[in-house]
Structure 1
Amino acid sequence: MSATNPPPQRAAPRLAYFPVTFFAVVMGLAGLALATHRVELLLGSGSFASTGLIGLTALVFCIIAVLFVLKCLRHPAEMRAEWNHPVRIAFFPAITIGALLIAAGVLPASEPLARAIWIPAAIAHLVVTLGVVSAWISHRTFEQAHLTPAWFIPAVGNVLVPVAGVQLGYLEVSWFFFSVGMLFWVVFLTLVFNRLIFHNPLPERLLPTLVILIAPPSAGFVAWYQINGGEIDAVARLLYYCGLMFVLITLTQVGKLLRLPFAMSWWAYSFPVAAFTIASSLFAEKTGHGFQQVVMVVSYVVLLGVIALLVLKTAGAIRRDEICQPEG
């Protein structure tokens, strides 16, 4: 009987399909915590909410990191396939970006703890960035269709290093990462717009990555604000208003984005909105301009709504057993 009816092939364990893109959840939650801290400072209401949020973010990061490490140990072939994936490779720096954001969130409460997180995270981010760039320029074949705004993620990570690095006293290191991040932003901005304008549209499940366009100039503004001693100069204005323009461009696509079926890539909505909220808060605080104050309030309300929607959608997807599935 066994000769004529071979046993069915066992499906791979669910852990084998645990994607690196889950670290985008950490980026979103950390961004919410940092934006909340800025709102608390403006209101003078203490830091209870932001402290709780950064603690929750650290817990989520640890859970996701443990599961991802287990995947790497038990299913190395699947991990290598993810590294070789033309889109998912860009999400590997999200691991270290999450740690850098947690360090920035911890800094107001504990400088030694922030330093203990920031130093290994910055070193690891450099290593991961070099690995990703090496893969990009190696003999591996990439096609134009593989290029998406997700490729900005390594660049965004570099410009986030100064957010806590300057306050921790690592000014020259911060300058290095900021310079590298801005260089890659300009390069990939050109490549991505060439792909969006002159080639086939992004697949539906990757359309949420369009929101990532907001992140580099917004995060760059925050980093430059730190490096420049908290001054709003011409460079700061250039970065902030570039971020604002990408917000307006994104708004023209909202109808299309809302009609998409939920996927974990929706978490790409969260951090860029948080970065722009923080940038608007710093701009408003320093200049006293009412326009940026209004933008900051609106952005923060939108951020809260986006995070709430993502949490509900993710919980629903978990209940329906729709995540950690092999790609069709």
Structure 2
Amino acid sequence: MEQHGLRYFPIGLFASVMGFAGVTIASRHLEELLNFPHYVSLVFLFFSTLLFLVNLAILSYRSIHFLQDVREDFNHPVKMNFFAAISISLLLLAESYYHYVPALSFVVWVVGAVLQLYLTLKVLSNLIWRQSFVIAQFNPAWFIPIVGNIVLPLAGVYHVGKDINWLFFSVGIVFSIIYLTIMMQRLFFDPSLPNPLMATLFILMAPPAVGFLSYMKLTGNLNVFAHILFGFAFFIFLLLLFNIKRFIVLPFFVSWWAFLFPTAALTIATIHMFVVTKSILYAWSLVFESAGLLFLIIVLSWKTVKLAVNKKLCVSQ
């Protein structure tokens, strides 16, 4: 019999915090580009913070009253990766906080960085020493703990020296290449991903898109490597857009929040490309991507609230 309640609150919902935090950064860049006041980005920042605190409070409640369930999530081949959405959310929030309260940004960034390092080491150690994982379980959600290392320099450049930022960036980029190789083998030669995980394919945009943003912050140069990162991210976007019919016919799952953060990351990257090159191609791409972000926020929020109202959000699986 299906049960529901906070005991079954999905850890994957932290991806919504990542998404809103990414949209916060994207909206601030758009406001700067259009010379608008930062009203919209502040609203998104407030809501992202509130959403993070609500998710964190529920996870704390589960950890106190249902610790075994949380441990099972942490050892699950899919759910374990979404714990890194917590550290990524902190790192993204730190980037936004810096423009208003630098001291708060530093504290949040340090907590996020320490947690990110721990989760990266823990997840990779589990993959090395546990024999229960098989290639058929590999899916784009496994990229989340790796992507966090690439996110870290976004605010890290404000708080620590470049050596630390380059260390995390290097880990994220190299492991993203390794993971991408495994992912392509999984997609090309094994059965398709199950429907609840289909939306996670959009996570494949995140490593090159965020990699581009962090690389630009670390170097300030739109060089060949930066072009490669952006070009690959944009191609993954086109590939997924070409197959959009396969996504829109699926029923809604919490994993759909995987659409939002990668799209926000690509939008921010496109803003940077337009600012540097002034190309009309990036201008039109930016219009389309911004509209897509607005659409995703509305649809994902509405469908999540609908699940919660119908008592289908926190259910036993």
User: Which range, TM-score by smaller chain?
Assistant: over 0.9
**1:220 — aligned with what?**
211
Separation (CA, whole Å) in 2 of partners of 1:273 and 1:244: 10
Pairs aligned (count):
317
- Where do 4+ consecutive residues of structure 1 move more than 4 Å? none
Worse-matched range after superposition: 36-45 or 292-301: 292-301
Matched, 1:254 2:244: yes
State the match for 1:46 in structure 2.
37
Counterpart amino acid of residue 303 in structure 1: L
Q: Distance in 2 between matches of 1:324 and 1:200?
A: 28
Residue of structure 1 equivalent to 2:91: 100
Residue equivalent to 2:232: 242
1:324 is aligned to: 314
Q: 1:252: Cα distance to partner?
A: 2.1
Q: 1:128 & 1:149 partners in 2: Cα distance? A: 17
Q: Which TM-score applies when normalising by structure 2? A: 0.97
Q: 1:110-129 alignment to 2 at 5 Å?
A: 110-129=101-120
Q: Which has the higher contact order (CA 8 A, sep 6+)?
A: 2
Q: What residue number does 1:300 align with?
A: 290
For residues 169 and 214 of structure 2, the distance between their equivalents in structure 1, rounded to whole angstroms, comes to: 7
Q: Which amino acid aligns with 1:107?
A: Y
TM-aligned CA deviation for residue 300 of structure 1 = 1.0
Q: Whose Rg is larger?
A: 1
1:92 counterpart SS class: helix
Secondary structure, counterpart of 1:260 in structure 2:
coil
Task: Give the corresponding residue for 2:124.
Answer: 133
1:89 aligns with 2:68: no
Question: How many Å separate the matches in 2 of 1:114 and 1:140?
Answer: 39
Alpha-carbon distance, 1:291 to partner: 1.1
Aligned residue for 2:149?
Answer: 158
Out of 193, 205, 211, the residue aligned to residue 202 of structure 1 is 193
Q: Is residue 4–residue 316 contact of structure 2 (8 Å, CA) maintained in 1?
A: no
- Pair 66,140 (structure 1): closer, same or farther in 2 beyond 3 Å: farther
Aligned residue type for 1:241: G
Give matches, 1:11-22, under 5 Å.
14-22=5-13
Measured in 1, the distance between the counterparts of 2:294 and 2:232 equals 23
Per the TM alignment, residue 226 of structure 1 is displaced from its structure 2 partner at its CA by 0.2
2: CA distance, partners of 1:185 / 1:262: 27
* CA distance in structure 2 between the partners assigned to 1:140 and 1:110 by the alignment: 45
- Structure 1 letter corresponding to 2:250: L
- Aligned residues of 1:158 and 1:177 also touching (Cα < 8 A): yes
* Corresponding letter in the other structure for 1:63: V
Using the TM superposition, give the Cα deviation of residue 13 of structure 1 relative to its aligned residue in structure 2, in angstroms. 6.6
| Preserved contact between residue 111 and residue 168 of structure 1 (Cα < 8 Å) | no
- The one-letter code sitting in structure 1 at the alignment partner of 2:161 is Y
Instruction: Show the counterpart of 1:6.
Output: none
Contact 2:120 2:145 in 1 (8 A): yes
8 Å CA contact 1:212, 1:269 repeated in 2:
yes
**Counterpart secondary structure, 1:108:** coil
Q: Distance in 2 between matches of 1:65 and 1:93?
A: 13
1:12-59, CA deviations, whole angstroms, 9 ceiling, x for partnerless residues? 772221121111010010011111011001001121111121111011
Within 1, Cα distance between the matches of 2:194 and 2:16?
21
Looking at structure 2, the residues matched to 215 and 306 of structure 1 have their Cα atoms a distance apart, in angstroms, of: 16
Quick one: percent identity of the two aligned structures? 34
Check conservation: 2:90, 2:109, Cα contact below 8 A.
Answer: yes
The answer to whether residue 159 in structure 2 is matched with residue 171 in structure 1 is no
* 2:302 aligned residue: 312
SS state at 1:218 partner: helix
Tell me the CA shift for residue 136 of structure 1. 1.0
Write the letter of the residue equivalent to 1:253. N
**Do the aligned residues in 1 keep the contact of 2:260 with 2:293 (CA within 8 Å)?**
yes
Q: What are structure 2's unaligned runs of at least 5 residues? A: none
Structure 1 residues 112, 260: closer, same or farther in 2, change over 3 A? same
- Contact 2:307–2:313 at 8 Å: present in 1 too? yes
